[in-house]
Amino acid sequence: MATLRRFEDIEAWQRTRELVREVYRVSGRGAFSKDFALRDQMRKAAISIMSNIAEGFERGGKREFIQFLSVAKASVGEVRSQLYIALDRGYLPDVDYGHVTGLAVETGRMIGGFMRYLRRTPMKGQKRALP
């Protein structure tokens, strides 16, 4: 079984990086880019996902890591909710909404799966085995 040595090795973090790129892409166009409150809040929520995965990993303890993953998963929900707002305001075409929402849903599932794995594993401390 492989060992996670860096937060960059976590698949959920990698998927979140892709989600952040897409959030920035879609929120930087047209009328969406001018709705500063929604644009900035969605970007902050997406950044929060990535940051909480990294920070939790760097804390070193399994319980703290799971707590930070929980916060990251909640931020996925925030991004998904904000995507509905953007869709309803006409800021996103259906194809972009579907693509970014799909990434968010997948990210949330990955984080949830990783949390379940960490809860079951007897390992503690800095090094964590990949599921």
**Contact indicator for 55, 82 with CB cutoff of 8 Å:** no
Whether residue 107 is predicted with pLDDT greater than 70 in this model: the reply is: yes
Q: Which residues lie across from 4 on neighbouring strands?
A: 128
Tell me the domains of the chain and their CATH numbers.
Answer: 3-121 (1.20.1440.60)
What does the CA dihedral 40, 97, 105, 5 come to, rounded to 10 degrees?
A: -60
Q: Which of 75, 74, 94 is nearest to 84 (CA)?
A: 94
- pLDDT digits 0-9 by tens, 23-56: 999 999 999 999 999 999 999 999 999 999 999 9
Cα–Cα distance for residue pair 91/74, rounded to 1 Å: 23
- pLDDT digits 0-9 by tens, 114-124: 999 999 988 76
Residue 60: helix, strand or coil by DSSP?
coil
Whether residue 105 is predicted with pLDDT greater than 50 in this model: the reply is: yes
- pLDDT digits 0-9 by tens, 61-95: 899 999 999 999 999 999 999 999 999 999 999 99
Cα–Cα distance for residue pair 116/95, rounded to 1 Å: 32
